[in-house]
Structure 1
Amino acid sequence: MKRLLSTLLAGLALLPMQAAAKERADILIRHATIVDVEHARLIPDQAVATTGDRIVAVGGDAEVAKQWSAKRTVDAKARYLIPGLWDMHVHFGGGPDLIEENRALLPLYVAHGITTVRDASGDLPLQVLGWRDEIAKGALFGPTLLSSGPKIEGIKPIWKGTIETGSEADVDAAVARLKTLNVDFVKITDSTLKPDLFLHALRQVRGAGLRASGHIPMALTVGQAVDAGISSIEHLGYAFKAGAEDEAAIAADFAAGRIDRAEANRRINASFDRDTAMASYRRFVEKGVFVTPTLNGGRIIAYLDQDDHKNDDYLAYIGPRLRATYTWRVERAAQADATAIAARHDQIEREAAVLPLLQAAGVTIMAGTDAGFLNSFNYPGIGLHDELGLYTRYGLTPAQALSAATRAGPAWFGTLDRYGSIDRGKAADMVLLDRNPLEDIAATRAIHAVILRGSVQDRAALDRMLAETRAKVAAWNARP
């Protein structure tokens, strides 16, 4: 009997490894072509296993499949697997009456492969912070939401939903309140905020261990904001301003009331200098300052004379009251004569031309759309793909554009250890594409499936999201 038992044990020891119990995952994606965004290369015939919201294994398909089984297996059929997309500049707002229409935007981001958005503040800041927490708990469906909460502003600003400050003590109290709200970063704007308080706010935010983004007052140089601690510059126009040889004199004249904004902008255009710009951009790199171009929104307004967007199919996904917020920019643009329209075209082209200069200097470019209320026809979801298309149009490679939408956001938040690539231990946020985005960035639109926090949303599920949003908007349109 003992001899028989020994023989059996010896036989078991010689069984091939395949017979050993496999580890169990929730999802197993097989035969995928992983897009290594960091190194701009493709890795064919890979498998990815996920458990919960984390990737637990990545490797050659045969090897991973030998070790792992799963509740659900997805055959990628050599499709292209990229990290989830991030939109690093969005807005929710329009007042309390628009809460439901804003909430309906959340699935639009997921349906377009966007797994994380950075809310740069509107006039519903506390509502958005609540959504952020509900999404994190699984009580609300949507992309991971990172928010600044209410903006820091001056007294009686044009923007609603802000914390008004008129002294250093007010700024200090504002930063303390934002810490209490557990915001993910701080947004500072300049409609009425005094320049000295703007700089004080940047220093206080940095001292509180938070990142700051914002609009830089004309009475300051961009370099002053950089030195004070701004972490991301929102909108490409500020990066363009940093390339003006006479920027310091322009800022001083504006601060003293000797020139208005129009004259300041004319002088900025006249004194833009490539060498000055490159020196400024290298300073951005030294200070770890990122740039969010938001080109799409600016281009839409600049060229409204050529495309009024009245027949855009995507309007069917935007609630009627949100659509109504587009009117103010449209009406302002309609007042322009032929000279003003030509100047508008010229300005956006001048600003877009600095995009490859930023890239050459080593500045990290973050993809962000400025989509949301007020910003006419700059649509949540699809707007990011439009933004990426503009990056390649104005000089970036598809790989650089893709990095701006997958790695730059996590790098800014200091979370590249969890996001931005498809590796073991990283977040299970991925997008499966039908085409290769390293050849053509428009491939990011060809979405076969989205994996959001470890949950597979296949093409049918994504289409349902779109259909449900469209049906909501149709119902709202039918209201008296």
Structure 2
Amino acid sequence: MMRTLVVNSTLIDCVSPDPRPGTTIVIEGQRISHVGPDSGFSAGPDDQVIDLKGAYLLPGLWDVHVHPDYHSLADMPLAEQVTLFGHRLQTALMDSGIVGFRCAGAHDYIDVAWRRSFEAGQFTGPRLFASGYFLTTTGGHFLTSGHARECDGPYGFVKAIREGIKNGIDHVKLNLSGGILGPSWDLHTQSFLLDDEIKAAFDICKLRGFKVMAHATNPQAVKAAILLGAHSIEHGYIMDDECIELLLKHDVWLVPTLAISHLTPGQAKNKWESLWTQQRGMAHALCCRAEAASDTHTNWFAKAVKAGVKMALGSDIRPLKDAALLEMGLWTRNGATPWQTLVAATRHGAAICGVGDELGTVEAGKIADLIVVGANPLDDINNVRQLQMVIKDGQVVSDKRPVGQP
């Protein structure tokens, strides 16, 4: 088997926070077979050698809270939406180095369809973990997105979950509460499910062995989800000290999605954020809602970081090639170090999706999903934008190194 030697790299393996210059990575097939100093390994006559000239090698990035673009079937036929989602996913891999996504709601199971296509090798794309529809109540959260399914009563939720399982989902996305961006009756301060509805939903997930990705935006919803066995809490815009204690006690993930409350024109702090907010053109009333929620969101995010809550990086915005990069910038501005942010976007991204033993760090035996960037992201997390190369399953799928560099 031909080997690929990636030499003269500065390795950030996302196990240790200390970069390791002069490192060689050996890839055989899909996997990393060796990690060590350049001086300790020499290339054979049949080996492919990639000289990084000191550039930074690290695990590929993950975004563990995403949706396809928001279009109703009246706006865009389903076939076009499926095609657009696939294009967005492939572009995110090739242009931004995002090797894994966890979906938080997609109508008509288009996330399942693309996961199967990527896994079958029909197209080159990121790893995708599918939820199908996100489940809410009649008059629930984000009905205009096209990705919500309205359920009512215990058996309404049970039936929807069973249908999702039948259609090939990986996890269940359950909305316990409202959101920041929506109509006047869709409020993140309010919880939506009755006790018997939420219990039935969690009961069937436990029986069938499916993890619950719980949209929970206020203390009541966060606590209910944790105590019923949620795998992850999404958003956590408003929490209290008991929420933090329960997250730690029950070892539950938190995915804070800072972009939802922080990316408005009035809060943009750099050129990337300014350009994104201009292009998004969010209505003034929604900007006001986001800005009114941002300080509280920041407070509980920072407290969770300080307390050592398990956290993974998810954006909840589009386009997918920009979303994780913007979210990483927000993490470092709101209480996380570049190291904590990078771990959340690599090792923890793989772990929350249940594949931490195979992916998320640069170690011998793991699958070679890797990126190369031109400057140290531990100095400035935005250096992940200096993407030079993407390796997926041991194969170079994108090479953007400067012209003249072999």
Fold agreement, TM-score > 0.5: yes
Deviation at 1:433, TM superposition (A): 1.3
Equivalent position SS for 1:45: strand
Cα distance in 2, alignment partners of residues 70 and 201 from structure 1? 55
SS of residue in 1 equivalent to 2:357: coil
1:451-472 Cα distance to aligned partner (Å, 9 max, x none)? 1122213444999xxxxxxxxx
Question: 1:28 touches 1:69 (CA, 8 Å); kept in 2?
Answer: no
* Letter of the 1:134 counterpart: S
Matched, 1:347 2:293: yes
- What amino acid maps onto 2:256 in structure 1? P
Matches within 5 A, 1:420-431: 420-431=360-371
Are the structure 2 counterparts of residues 419 and 70 from structure 1 closer, same or farther at C-alpha, using a change threshold of 3 Å? farther
* CA apart distance, 1:95: 3.4
Find the counterpart in structure 2 of residue 442 from structure 1: 382
Q: Shift of the alpha carbon at 1:137?
A: 1.1
Please tell me whether the aligned partners of residues 268 and 277 of structure 2 are also in contact (alpha carbons under 8 angstroms): no
Q: Which among 111, 120, 123 is matched to residue 104 of structure 2?
A: 120
The amino acid that maps onto 1:363 is V
Instruction: Structure 2 unaligned segments of length 5 or more: list them.
Output: 179-185, 187-191
Describe the SS at the equivalent of 1:127. Answer: helix
Matched positions, count: 378
* Selected match of 2:126 from 116, 137, 143: 143
1:106 and 1:141 in contact (8 A); partners too = no
> Is the Cα–Cα contact under 8 Å of residues 388 and 400 in structure 2 kept in the other structure?
no
Higher helix share: 1
- List, as ranges, runs of 4+ consecutive aligned residues in structure 1 with deviation greater than 4 Å: 68-71, 190-193, 304-311
Q: Corresponding residue for 1:198?
A: 198
Contact 1:25/1:49 (CA < 8 Å) preserved in 2? no
Pick from 239, 242, 259: which aligns with 2:239? 242
The answer to whether the Cα contact below 8 Å between 1:84 and 1:429 also exists between their aligned partners in 2 is yes
Which one-letter code corresponds to 1:201 in the other structure?
A
Q: Contact conserved, 1:236 with 1:352, CA < 8 A, in 2?
A: no
Cα deviations across residues 65-111 of structure 1 (Å, max 9, x unaligned)? 35x56553210112111111001111114134241333321232111
Aligned to 1:270: none
Superposition deviation, residue 53 in structure 1:
2.2
- Residues 40-189 of structure 1 mapped to structure 2, 5 A cutoff: 40-65=17-42, 72-93=48-69, 94-96=71-73, 97=76, 98-99=80-81, 100-110=83-93, 111-123=95-107, 125-155=108-138, 157=140, 158=143, 160-189=146-175
Q: Which residue identity lines up with residue 316 of structure 2 in the other structure?
A: D
Aligned residue in 2 for 1:231: 231
Per-residue deviation, 1:437? 1.5
Q: 1:292: how far off?
A: 1.2
Q: 1:135 & 1:116 partners in 2: Cα distance?
A: 11
CA deviation digits over 1:278-301, x for unaligned, max 9? x42132022121111111232123
Alignment of 1:350-389 (within 5 A): 350-372=296-318, 379-389=319-329
Q: Which runs of 5+ in 1 are unaligned?
A: 1-23, 244-276, 316-322, 335-340, 373-378, 464-480
TM-score, length of structure 2 as denominator length: 0.83
Seen in structure 2, the aligned counterparts of structure 1 residues 311 and 168 have a Cα distance that, compared at 3 Å, is closer
1:333 has 2:286 as partner: yes
Once the two structures are TM-superposed, the CA of residue 430 in structure 1 deviates from its matched residue by: 0.5
SS of 2:7's partner is: strand
CA distance in structure 2 between the aligned counterparts of 1:34 and 1:142, rounded to whole angstroms: 24
Letter in 1 for 2:125: G
Give 1:397's aligned residue.
337
SS in 1 for 2:345: helix
Q: Given the superposition, is the C-alpha separation of residues 310 and 146 from structure 1 closer, same or farther in structure 2, using an over 3 Å criterion?
A: closer
CA distance in 2, matches of 1:141, 1:405: 21
Deviations 1:383-417 (A, max 9, x none): 21221111111121110010110011222123211
Amino acid at match of 2:368: A
Q: How much has 1:139 moved relative to structure 2?
A: 0.8
CA positional deviation for 1:201: 1.2
Does the C-alpha gap of structure 1 residues 219 and 429 become closer, same or farther in structure 2, counting only changes over 3 Å? closer
Deviations 1:226-272 (A, max 9, x none): 101112111141xxx221xxxxxxxxxxxxxxxxxxxxxxxxxxxxx
RMSD, matched Cα: 3.1
Specify whether residues 344 and 170 from structure 1 end up closer, same or farther in structure 2 by C-alpha distance, changes over 3 A only.
Answer: closer
- Which residue does the alignment assign to 1:7? none
